[in-house]
Amino acid sequence: MEEEKVVSKKVIAKKKEIDPNDLTICDATAQMIIKARKDGVETAFDRAANMKACPIGADSACCKHCAMGPCRLNAKDPYGKVGVCGATIDTIMARNFARMVAAGGAAHTDHGMGMLDLFREVLNGNIKDYTIKNPQKLIEVAQSIGIETEDREIKDIAMDLYKELERTYTQVDGEIPFAQRVPEKTLETWRKLGIVPRGAMREIMELMHRSHMGVDQHYENITKQCSRTALADGWGGSMVATEISDILFGTPSPVAVEVNMGVLKEDQVNIIIHGHEPNLFESIVESVNEPTLIQAAKDAGAKGINLVGMCCSGLEMFVRHGIPHAGNFMSTEAVLVTGAVDAMGVDVQCIKQGLVKVADCYGTKLITTNPRCHIEGATHIEFHEHDPKACTDEIVIQAIGRFKNRNMPIEIPKIVNTGVHGFSHEYINYMLGGTFRASYTPLNDNIINGRIRGVAGVVGCTNPRMKQDWVHVELVKELIKNDVLVVQTGCSQIALAKAGLTTPEAAHLAGPGLKEVCETVGMPPVLGCGACVDNSRILIACAEMVKTGGLGDSIADLPVAGCAPEYMSEKAICIGQYFVASGVYTVFGVTFPIVEGTKFHKHLFEELEQLGCGKWGFATDPYEIARMMIAHIDKKRKALGIDKARERTLVDMADRRAMDAA
Ligand code: NFS
Ligand code: SF4
C-alpha cells in the first residue's frame, strides 16, 4: 500500500496511470509495474494507456497501398465512400487482412525453414552439435507422407524426408506434403475451393501480389488466397517446425515445471532466453552446464547459473529440459524490472523494442542473436549453427560480467507455480489409450458418451489492451466447468499455469464428466501442447479424431472450437485463418480489424462455414466467448446426433453463475 503511494507521486509526468490490478492478474507483473513506476521506468502497459488505438486502423478502414492515398473510409458509413482508385471497404479490409496473414505465415514458415536448414546440415554432416534425437518420430513422420521406411537406414529415410518437406516451401505446383495428413473430406473441400497450398513461398508471394494496388479486388477471392497461405503455415511451415524440432530435440512428454518470476534466483547468475527457435536454447542449455563457465560464475560470487525461459522459447525449453519459465509476452519488460536478470538472449518474434530501454535502466545485457533481428541499442552476438556455443558461451560470459557488477537492489516477486506441460499429440494418444492400444478412441468415446462435451483450443498472446491473463483464465475456467477439455499453446498456456490450472489437481474445477475422465487418466483438464508453431499439434489431433471415427467425416464436423482471447500478433491472425480454413470455429478477442455489417465481415463470420470451412467469431468478454464456443460445440453435437448423451450433466450458464456467486 505504502509503495503504491510513493508511486503515485513519482509518475511519468502527467501521463495516465492505471492501477496495476486493472492491468494484469499476474501478481508478479503487477508488483513489477509498481516498481517500474517507482524507478521511473516505462513499460508497454504505460504506453498502451497513453496511446489510444487509431480508430480507423482498428476498423481496418484505411489503405496505404499506393501514393494516390493513403485513403480513409468511414466505418460508420462504410459504403458511403471509396478510395481514390475506387477500392471499396471490402477490398480494403480484405487486403489489409491478407497482408497480416502473409506476414504471420511468413514468420512461422521462415522459422520452420530454419529448422529444415538445420536438419539438412545435420544430415550432411556439416553441423555436428545437433543430432537426430528421436528416430522413432522420424519414421512416423516419414510414414505419414508415404515415404518407404521398411528395412531402410535412418539416414536414408531422413534424406528422403528432407527432400519431401522442402517442397512445403519451394514447390510451385501440386499439394504440400502434409496435405496427406488432412482428413479426406476436409481436403476435398479445399480442393473444391482451390485452396490446397502448393508451397509456402509461392502462396505468400501470390498473396502479396494480389493485395497490391489494382490486382485482386474481390474480397471473396482475396479470402481464398488468405486461406491457402494460412494453410501453408498450419499444415506446412508450422507443422514442419514442430516435427523437425521433435526429431532433432525430442518429442515432449508431460513434465512438471515451475512458472512465474519467483524462478529467478538472487544469488545466481540469471539468464533468460526469449523468442522462438529451439536451436538457440538447445545450445545455451549446454553452455550453462559447461564446468568452466559454472566455475567462472562461482568465482564471480554466484552460487551457480540459473537458466530461465520466456514466451515460446520458454515453452519449448521447459517441456524438453524441465527449465523453469518466467512468464508470457506482457511480462518480458516486467521481469527485467526485478533487476535480477543478468542477460536476456533473444532470437526472433514478439521481442518488444522497449526491452532495450528497460534493460539499460537495470544494467541487464540484452543480446540479439539472429541475423533477422537486430535491435538498435542491444548487443548483437550472432548465432551460427556450425558453432552454436560460440554465441551461447558468450551470452553466459556477459551475464557473469553483469552479475559481478550488480549495483542496485534486486526485488524478485516470490511467486512460483507448478504445472504439468508437454502434451504432444503422440502423448495424448498414449495417455488416453495406454501403451498397448494407443489411440484416440477413448477420447472420441468420451466425447460421444458426453463425459467430454467437446475440445477447445485456447491459445495466443497477451496484450496490454486487455487485463493480462484474465480473459484466458476466466474463459478456460468456464470451459472446463462445462466439461470442455482445453488444449493450449503459446502465452495462453503460461497464463493458465500461473493460475494453477495445468495440474491434475485442477480437475476439481472441471464439470463432473471431464473431472471423471481427468481423474481416471490422472491428467489436468487443461493440456499444454507447446509453443505457437505447435498449434500444428492441435491440427493433427483434430485429424486423428476424425480418422478415429464417430465424430463425422471432416474437421468441420467435430465438436471443437478455438480462441485467442488476448491476441496481438499477425501470426495469431494467420493461425486463426488456418483453423477457420481447416473447419474450426475460431473466436478472437481484443479487437478485430473489420467493420461489422460489411460483406467481408459476413464472409468471414458466416459464409465460410457454409462453404465447408469453419468461421470467425469475435467477443471480448470471457463468459460471452465461452458461451459462443459452447453453443458451437453443442450445435456440432446435435448435428452428429450425440447431443442426447449429455443431457444428464447439463447445467445451464445461469446455474453456473449462481454457483460461482455463492
Ligand atoms: Ni505466439 Fe510466441 Fe506469445 Fe503470441 Fe508471441 S510469444 S508465437 S505470438 S505473444 S503467443
Ligand atoms: Fe487509396 Fe486505392 Fe491507393 Fe489504397 S490502393 S491508397 S484505396 S488509391
Can you tell me which residue has the cell 534486486? 410
User: How does DSSP classify residue 264?
Assistant: S
Q: Average pLDDT of 130-154? A: 95
The chain-wide mean pLDDT, for the chain, equals 93
> What's the pLDDT score for residue 401?
97
- Atom of ligand 1 at shortest range from CA of 490: 10
Q: Within 13 A of 172's CA, how many CA atoms are on the CB side?
A: 0
Instruction: Assess contact for 266 and 341: CB atoms under 8 A.
Output: no
Q: Ligand 2 pocket: which of 68, 91, 211 to mutate (most atoms <8 Å of CB)? A: 68
Give the Cα separation of 241 and 116 in Å (integer): 7
| Domain parsing of the chain, residue ranges | 2-56, 71-249, 261-404, 417-640
Domains 71-249 and 417-640 agree in fold: no
Alpha carbon of 496 to ligand 1 centroid (Å): 15
Does residue 114 register a pLDDT over 80? yes
Q: Phi/psi of residue 72, each to 5°?
A: -115, 130
Q: Give the model confidence (pLDDT) of 380-431 as tens digits.
A: 999 998 899 999 999 999 999 999 999 999 999 999 999 999 988 888 878 8
> What's the pLDDT score for residue 646?
63
Give the Cα separation of 495 and 259 in Å (integer): 10
Class of 71-249 in CATH: mainly alpha
Rg of the chain over Cα atoms, rounded to whole angstroms, equals 24
Does residue 16 register a pLDDT over 80? no
Alpha carbon of 30 to ligand 2 centroid (Å): 43
348 lines ligand 1 (CB under 6 A): no
Give the Cα separation of 557 and 188 in Å (integer): 14
- Atom of ligand 2 at shortest range from CA of 83: 7
573 lines ligand 1 (CB under 6 A): no
Cα dihedral across residues 586, 590, 594, 597: positive or negative: positive
Relative orientation angle of helices 441-448 and 425-433, to the nearest 10 degrees: 70
At residue 9 the predicted structure's pLDDT band, cuts being 50, 70 and 90, is very low
> What's the pLDDT score for residue 657?
59
Ligand approaching nearest to the C-alpha of 329:
1
Q: Give the model confidence (pLDDT) of 588-616 as tens digits.
A: 999 999 999 999 999 999 999 999 999 99
Instruction: Report how many helices (DSSP H) and strands (DSSP E) the chain contains, helices first.
Output: 29, 15
Q: Which residue in 119, 314, 56, 84 sits closest to 213, CA to CA?
A: 84
390 lines ligand 2 (CB under 6 A): no
Residue by residue, DSSP assigns 332-347 as HHHHHHTS-EEEEEE-
82 lines ligand 2 (CB under 6 A): no
Class of 417-640 in CATH: alpha beta
CATH 3.10.105.10 fits 261-404, yes or no: no
Instruction: Assess contact for 53 and 573: CB atoms under 8 A.
Output: no
501-511 in b/e form (b: 16+ CB < 10 A) is bbbbebbebbb
Ligand approaching nearest to the C-alpha of 82:
2
Give the Cα separation of 110 and 241 in Å (integer): 9
The torsion region of residue 135 among left (phi > 0), alpha (psi -120 to 50) and beta comes to alpha
Alpha carbon of 512 to ligand 1 centroid (Å): 33
Angle value at C-alpha 503, between 499 and 508, nearest 5 degrees: 85
pTM of the entire predicted model? 0.93
310 lines ligand 1 (CB under 6 A): no
Task: Give Cα 504 distance to the centre of its chain.
Answer: 22
- Atom of ligand 1 at shortest range from CA of 568: 4
